[in-house]
Amino acid sequence: MGFLSRDPIMILSSEHHANLTEVLKWRRDVRHFSTAALEPALLKQIEACVDFAPSVGNSRPWRIVRVNDKNRKAAIVRSFEECNRQASLIYQEKARQDYLALKLSGLIEAPNHLAFFTDLAPAEGRGVGRQTMPETLVYSTVMAIHTLWLTARALNVGVGWVSILDPQTVRNVLDVPESWQLTGYLCLGYPLECDDKPELHRIGWQTDTQSVWIDR
Ligand SMILES: Cc1cc2nc3c(=O)[nH]c(=O)nc-3n(C[C@H](O)[C@H](O)[C@H](O)COP(=O)(O)O)c2cc1C
């Protein structure tokens, strides 16, 4: 029996499109979190959606660590603080003060932390699709992160991506295999604010940006 005859085609409605557009528009990178705990059932719903993410050759290379231990969380906060201080050194004087005034993580307040790693040699998928562009394994993990991000937003949970971290420190703190590459470190929690504009635009760090498209 052929693939096409197995299932009726699932036609989505304009309502699906409208709802998706709203979720996309109101998804924000959240740095201001309530410390209120997320209900376990809600977390389960968010986590379950990761399984819908696409991946190169269906390799599903994401390895996700729930960072529960308070000492490990504190070590991650210390890594952020040191990396953020280092990052500020590329700016001079006033610009450095402006940079240091930015809130670039909600690591301390957010009740949940998730570290997304990419297994650079996953058995699943048997190598399909990634021979010319092995970096597609990492892209796949980014797809999983985005899937979780949108799902969380649809459930009124905020997500903040923190990349100002030393990957080797994070690997050591979380005691994961060397072959797992840190791809994204996420804070999750209820957001304290909500806006349809990125915070870096709102506070004047940058002016409005546009996607670049060209025709050939
Ligand atoms: C790969 C990646 C890494 C990011 N790292 C950080 C970070 O370390 N700290 C931070 O405050 N925001 C971080 N962000 C969030 C971006 O600053 C944010 O997506 C951007 O300003 C646009 O805002 P929006 O997500 O609210 O639309 C990151 C986003 C991505 C996709």
Q: What is the mean pLDDT of residues 152-170?
A: 98
Residue with tokens 């915070």: 199
83 lines ligand 1 (CB under 6 A): no
CA of 6 to the centre of ligand 1 (A): 41
Q: Does position 4 have pLDDT exceeding 60, yes or no?
A: no
Q: Over the chain, what is the mean pLDDT?
A: 95
pLDDT digits (tens, 9 = 90+) for 176-189: 999 999 999 999 99
Q: What mean pLDDT do residues 81-98 have?
A: 96
Asked if pLDDT for residue 144 goes beyond 50, the answer is yes
Residue 59 in contact with residue 136, Cβ under 8 Å? no
* Of the listed ranges 55-64, 128-137, 161-170, 204-213, the one predicted with least confidence: 204-213
Q: What is the DSSP string of 45-62?
A: HHHHGGGG---GGG---E
Mean pLDDT along residues 81-106: 97
Tell me the pLDDT band of 1, cut-offs 50, 70 and 90: very low
Q: What is the mean pLDDT of residues 75-93?
A: 97
Tokens of 91: 């700016």
What average pLDDT score do residues 3-22 get? 85
Please state, for a pLDDT cut of 90, what percent of the chain lies above it: 92
* Residue 12 amino acid letter: L
Determine the average pLDDT of the residues in 111-123: 97
Distance from the alpha carbon of residue 155 to the mean position of ligand 1, in angstroms: 20
Residue whose CA is at the smallest distance from ligand 1 atom 30: 161
Q: How far is CA 113 from CA 45, 105, 107, 108, in A?
A: 16, 11, 8, 10
Residue nearest to atom 14 of ligand 1 (CA): 161
Please identify, by atom number, the ligand 1 atom nearest to the C-alpha of residue 163: 8
Separation of 37 CA from ligand 1 center, angstroms?
A: 23
What does pTM read for this prediction?
0.95
Cα 9 to ligand 1 centre (Å): 36
**Cβ 182 under 6 angstroms from ligand 1:** no
Q: What percent of the chain has pLDDT over 70?
A: 97
C-beta of 30 in contact with ligand 1 (< 6 A): no
How much is the pLDDT for 3? 52
Mean pLDDT of 6-13: 83
CA of 3 to the centre of ligand 1 (A): 40
Q: Is 127's C-beta closer than 6 angstroms to any atom of ligand 1?
A: no
Query: How far, in Å, from the CA of 182 to the mean position of ligand 1?
Result: 16
Q: How far apart are CA 162 and CA 33, in angstroms?
A: 14
